[in-house]
Structures are given as C-alpha cells and as structure tokens.
Amino acid sequence: MQPIIIVLIILVVLVFIALVKTIQVIPQASAAIVERFGRYTRTLNAGLNIVVPFIDSIRNRIDLREQVVPFPPQPVITQDNLVVNIDTVIYYQVTDARAATYEVASYIQAIEQLTVTTLRNIIGGMDLERTLTSREEINAALRGVLDEATGKWGIRVNRVELKAIEPPTSIQDSMEKQMRADRDKRAAILQAEGVRQSEILRAEGEKQSSILRAEGEAKAAALKAEGEAQAIRTVFESIHAGDADQKLLAYQYLQMLPKIAEGDANKLWIVPSEIGDALKGLSGAMGNFGPMGGGSGGFNPQAPGKSVPEADSAKERREQPPID
C-alpha cells in the first residue's frame, strides 16, 4: 500500500506542476517571451495563456510601460576646452519584446553608453555659453540619435532631458561675478532712467505751470485794462452827459493836485504844464462872480491887479504897430 500511495502523491505533484506550467497569467502592459527547446516560439500578451509544460519555457518578462532611467553625471568637454558634468534622464518604452530580448544583451546599458557618446559628440561642438542656453537643442539632437539607434532593439526613446549642467568651480565663480556685474549695471541704468524721467516730468510740470501762470496774468491784465477802459468810458460818458464846462473841469483838476503830491517818498513835486490853463479857467470863473458882482472885474493871472477887460485893452495897445 505504501508504494502505491507514494506513486499517487508523485503523480498529483506532477499534475499540479504541469498545470502551473501550462497556465500562464500575464499582467496588463506586460509581455513574456516563450522558448521551446531554447528557440523563440511566441510572445505571450496580457491575460490567460496556455503553454506546453516541460517543453515551453518563459525566457523573459518585459514591462511595456514607459520607463524613466536617470544616468549618473558624465564629464563632457566643450568646444572651448572646459569640462562640465551633465546629468541625463531617459524616457523610453519597449515596443517589441522579442527584439528587446534577442537584439541586445542589455538594452539599459546600451542606451546609457549610447547616450554618453552622443552627448559628448554634441557638446564637443558647442562652447560653454551655448551649452548652458541650448538645452532644448541638445535634447532634440540627443533624442533623434537615440531613437534612430534603439529602433532595431525594439525601444522607442520618447524624451531626453538634461537634469543639470555643472561647469567647473572657477567658471561658476566667474559667472556669478559677471551676473552680479550685469545686475548692478541694469540697476544703475534703471535708476538713471528713473531720475531722467523724473526730471523730464518735473520740467514739463514747471513748463505747464509757467504757461498757465502767464496765461492767467495775461488774462488778468486784459481784464484789468478792459475794466479801466470801461471806467474811463463811463466817466467820459458821464461828463458828456452832464455837459460839464471848462470851469468845472479846471476846478476838478485843481482838486486832484493834492492827491498827486501825497506819499512820504515824494521829495520833488513837478507842476504840470497844464496848471496855467487850469488857473486861467478858475480865475475867469472867480472874475465872473467877484465882489462887485460884475462879469468884467475878474482876476487876471497874466496881469495881476487888473481886470480882464483892462488887460485885454493893454494887450491890444501893445500889439498895435507904432505910428510914423
């Protein structure tokens, strides 16, 4: 009985192992390479798959999702003989599981070495300044070379990114000094532009203020002159409307003489030439209304002590030519 039980147990174990080897479950976004007696047979896709136990074997399981592989910093010499360390990141995806298994021994190592050599070729034709400012150009060139070379390996390179570009320490110090000088220069230029703009605005404000002040003074002078002209016109019209004679005008003129002499600064008083005419008119008015009440006994300023008719007769006698 015991040998039979042992045989049955062995058969059960063999059946279980055969079932396990026969049924293969492949996860989503994965693939498996099947070999029969060491030769490629087929590729198992995601899902439930049946293989022949003890004849077919699973060679490799490959993840078909996009992979991200960072590579360590690599020393690269630029065109101006400066050594820079460049970190790269590769985004790739396996598109053909069979080619990725049989066309290259280790596609990760192959991609890394190809990336380093291609990067050195690209950076070797650029100087440091162009290298620091041309990341997109370097990424595009590197991706094109890698995608072309890895196509036969069943690999598609989606993106290549430069994580960091580290120049030597001495170059970094020089770049920092240059950037500091550029920032100081830009700050000085901006400050000068601000001062210049401020001075321009202040000058424009003073100009506008002067123009407005001059316009105001001109309008005030015009209004003042117009007011004085209107006052003179009103006085003139009032005098003509009142029909004032020469005697009244002379009397008003004499009344204005004390106002002309007013003021503490008046050291010299110049008598106008019209004072004689005013006195003449005033004397005529006083002669008409003299003590005798007659109109011919007025005061004569040209002949003191004589009346106006007597002065006129004396003037006529002087003007008569002598009789031969």
pLDDT per position as a tens digit, 256-309: 666 666 655 555 555 555 556 655 655 555 555 444 444 444 444 444 444 444
Q: Which amino acid is at 108?
A: I
For residue 153, which of 100, 83, 79 has the smallest C-alpha distance? 100
Q: β-strands 83-94, 155-166: how paired?
A: antiparallel
CA distance 177 to 156: 43
CA distance 298 to 164: 124
pLDDT per position as a tens digit, 175-210: 778 888 888 888 899 989 999 998 999 899 888 888
Which residues make beta-bridge pairs with 293? Answer: none
Q: How many residues in total does the chain contain?
A: 324
295 three-class SS: coil
CA distance 189 to 183: 10
99 three-class SS: helix
Q: What is the pTM of this model?
A: 0.51
> 66-167 adopts what CATH topology?
Tetrahydropterin Synthase; Chain A (3.30.479)
pLDDT at 64: 92
Low-confidence residues of the chain, pLDDT below 70? 1, 239-240, 242-324
What are the sequence ranges of the domains in the chain? 22-61, 66-167
Distances (CA, A) of 283 to 68, 244, 315, 316: 128, 17, 18, 21
